[in-house]
Each structure stands twice: as structure tokens, then as C-alpha cells.
A and B are shown apart, each in its own frame.
Chain A
Amino acid sequence: MQEPTFLILTALAAGAQHGYGIMSDVTRISDGRVRLRAGTLYAALDRLKADGMVSSDKEEVVDGRLRRYYRITDEGTAALAAEVRRIRANAAVAASRLGLAGGTV
């Protein structure tokens, strides 16, 4: 799973969000390291929707702007959980080889 996909699913794991909300949340989650832009975000959402990991939720108009909310599906939650397990296992191995205390980072 690519990092933007991982971060988008992580943002949606907390609840349904609209496009700009996802972008802001991803920046927050990655501690400012990743800034998603509209082109990347909507290309990723398009793919995630096609893969059944994300679905459209409600729509609303705020200050004359259309906001469509997206939510993570059960399939997306399972994929994210699997990725978390994979990253955690890899991190544990790396930490133990580096001799970090307790094998955790």
C-alpha cells in the first residue's frame, strides 16, 4: 500500500470526511511531512472507490461549495488493519536488529 493511500484510509478510519478535511487530516497525521493535493487525492479516491475500500457518503453545500463526504468501507478497514500489522511486524524486526529496547520503536 502506498503512503498516500495509507494516510487517506487512516484519515477516514476516524470517521467520514470531505475532500479538504482529508487533505488537512493527512497533513496533521504525517506531522506536516505529506501534503496531499487535489489531483493526487481524487486520483487516490477514484482508485479506492473502484477497489471498494472507500465509498461516498453524504453531500452538502457549505458557503456555496459542494462538499462530498467519503467513508471507509469494511474492506478498506480490513486492508488498513492488514497494512498496520505488516508495518508493525517489519518495524519490530528492524527495532530488534538495531538493538532497540524491547524490540519496539
Chain B
Amino acid sequence: MTWTAELEGRSGGVPAGRRVRMERRYRRLLTLYPRAHRREHAEEMIGVLFAAAEADARIRAPKPVAWALRTGQHVADCADLVAGAARIRGRMLGQRVRQAIRSSWIVRDPRWSDALAVISVIAPLLLLVAALAEFHLPQAVASSLTGDPHWRPTATLGLSDLPLAAGAPAVAVLALLRLRRLAGLAAIAAAIGQGPLTGYASPVVAFTVLLACTAAAALLLSPGPGRGLALLTRGGAALIGAGALILGGFSVGGDVWLASPGGFTKGLGSEVTGLPGDLLIATVLVAVAVGCLRAPVSRRVLALLAIPVIPYAVLWQEKLASDLFGQAGGASASIPSSLPLLYLPPLLLAGVIIAGTWVARRRAIRQGTPASPAGPRSAVSA
């Protein structure tokens, strides 16, 4: 639709020939605007421009003055159209840059991105529990629950415990303050500080090192704890809290039962180290796993949580052997810890996850469909 055709012969104050030229010029300048803006506002803007031009044309003045006024206003309107387009495009560019900065490094698949966001809540929490276990706090809570008198909080720390004891609270506080990148870097520092390559094949150290690495990946590659908290249901959060307490109370401080002579393990009491403890840990892990299988995001949370938990399985089978056969380390019944046993399976799992998502993305690009179907995102119920 053109205004020229509509207004031909009408006394708008602007002669028809001039009106045609003006409209052509306005339309040319409007091509500078983004397509969506043009589609929504172009006709409306031309209407406003002509309404203003008609008002200018009605000003009574000597002919040369009126001509100068009209021409000046038209030039000013044209310049203003260019400036308006520049402002809108500049704002859009700014938004795109801000969006790119916000989403830089964030995993594109929404289900993995959400799973990492949930992990960015869980992993710092578990890391904090592991750090508190250095002071025997979760063990003391677990002991008070089971009636075992042997665990008391302690303030004595070895030098090698410092990276975890100091790093984990830093990660948790930074994550809480929504400073996810800084929290991610603190988690990397905590992982490196624990010295996974020192050659000490401890499942406890492997668990906390891999947990710190998982926390770092989750914090750096996802929208962060805000999104993770929004996805966590109350039941899921409660189950994770219970899991954290049990992991902290019954296993993270487990080096006491594993590294000590056989008699000492027995002396700890059956509530913590015996079969009921094993079954409790197994029950919680199975409950978390079963709960996680229900939704796509939860399944991915489970896969990511498995990375740090695999060394824990080594710890658990040693403990189980010890409980069953009555000796620390489980004597010949358990598979002894070693660096390859502790670190290779988690690294393989991480590799499989990365390769799997990469292949899925490539396939989706080839088929011209998004990697994940759009739709409501699943809440994490476990």
C-alpha cells in the first residue's frame, strides 16, 4: 500500500509530485531498519512523517521562507530516520553481544545444559560436605544418629587437606553469590591443589578431585546454580541432602577404616562400618539412581554424577569386603585401589558423554533439526 495512491488529489498541503518523491525517499531510508521493525512500524512511520510534513506545509510564510522551512524539516526527518535505524541496530547489536557473553561456553543442548546447571548446585554442596568431613563434622552427625561414640569433630588438618578444606567453601560461597565463573575457577584450583597425580591411590582423594572437576565443568559450562535450583524439586533436593550426609558421614572419612590395621576397623562399631552402613549407602545410591531415571535431564544428572562416584564404588567394595571378611581393606576379597582403576573409568565415562553429545549434535545438524526437541524442560526429581 502506498500513501501516494490513497492521498492523490486530496488537499493534504503537500503537492502530489512532492509526496511521491518524499515517500520513495522515506521507504528507501526505512530499509536501513531491521526487517521485523520495518514490518511492524513502516506504514505507521510513513503516516507520521506525512502528518508532520502536512503540518509544516500549513505554516504561513513567504514562499522562499516556507520552501526553506519545508526542505529543512524534510532533511531533518530523513537524518532522524537514519539516526533512529542506527540506534535500533546498535541496541540489537549490544543485546547480541551481551547474550553471546552470557552464553559463551554454555553447552548448547538444553538438556545437558540443564543437567550441568543441576550439577552446579549438587557438586559444590557435596564438595562442601567432603571438606567438612576433613573436620569429621558429617561423621560426627552420622555417629550421633547411629549412636557410635568414636567420631568427634576435629580442628587438626594436614597440609594436603588444605586445598579441599579451603577450596570447597570458596566454591560454595561463590556459587551461592551466583559468581559461577569464579566458582568454577576455584573448583579447578581445589582439584589441582589436591594433587591427583601425586601417585597416592586413594578413592577418597579421587572422589573429591573428580567432584571438584565435575563442579568446575558444571559451573563453567551451564547457566549456573540459579537455573539448577529452579529445576530441582523439593523431593530431589531432600534426597540429595540425605545422600550428601551419608556420603560425608559414612564414606568420605572412610580412610580411617581403610588405612588402619584390621582391629581398628572392627573397633569403630557396626553401625557405621558394618553391613547396615553398606546397605544404607547402597540404598541411597540406588534411590537416587532410580529417581534420576524418570526424566531426560535427571538421567543426564545421573550420568554426570557417576563421574566422581565411580571411585567411591571402589571405596565401597573395599569397605564391603572388609565388613564381610572382617579385615581392613577386605584382604584378598577386594580389588585394591590403584590410580588407573580410580581415574580411568570416570575419564572414559566423561569421554563417552562428550563424544555422544558431539555425535548427536553432528547428526542433528546433518538432518537439519535441533539437537534437542523444544518443549517444556523436565524438572529434576531426584
Contact = CB atoms under 8 A, between A and B. Distances in A.
Contact of B47 (A40, A46, A65): A65
A37 B3 contact: no
Interface stretch (B84-92, B109-117, B285-293, B352-360): B84-92
Contacts of A53: none
A42 B52 CA distance: 14
A21 to B, nearest CB: 9
B85 A39 contact: yes
B76 to A, nearest CB: 7
B41 A42 contact: yes
Please indicate which of the listed interface residues A39, A42, A46, A67 has the most CB atoms of chain B within 10 Å of its own CB: A39
Contact of A38 (B3, B7, B77): B77
Contacts, number: 68
B84 A40 contact: yes
B51 A42 contact: no
- Chain A interface secondary structure, helix, strand, loop or mixed? helix
Interface string A32-73: 000001111111001100000000000000011111100000
A6 interface: no
B303 interface: no
A74 B44 CA distance: 25
Interface string B279-310: 00000000000000000000000000000000
A19 B77 contact: no
Contacts of A40: 80, 83-84
A22 B7 CA distance: 23
Contacts of A20: 47-48, 51-52
Contacts of A66: 43-44, 47
Contact of A37 (B44, B76, B87, B88): B76
B189 interface: no
- Chain B interface secondary structure, helix, strand, loop or mixed? helix
Contact of B84 (A43, A64, A65): A43
Interface residues of A, number: 18
Contacts of A42: 37, 41, 44-45, 84
Interface in B25-69: 37, 41, 43-45, 47-52
Interface string B1-33: 001001100100000000000000000000000
A38 B84 contact: yes
A68 B46 CA distance: 12
A23 interface: yes
Contact of A64 (B7, B52, B80, B82): B7
Contacts of A68: 44
Interface of B: 3, 6-7, 10, 37, 41, 43-45, 47-52, 76-77, 80-85, 87-88, 91
23 contacts: A19-B45, A19-B48, A20-B47, A20-B48, A37-B77, A37-B81, A38-B77, A38-B80, A39-B77, A39-B80, A39-B82, A39-B85, A39-B87, A40-B80, A40-B84, A41-B84, A42-B84, A63-B7, A65-B51, A66-B43, A66-B44, A67-B44, A67-B47
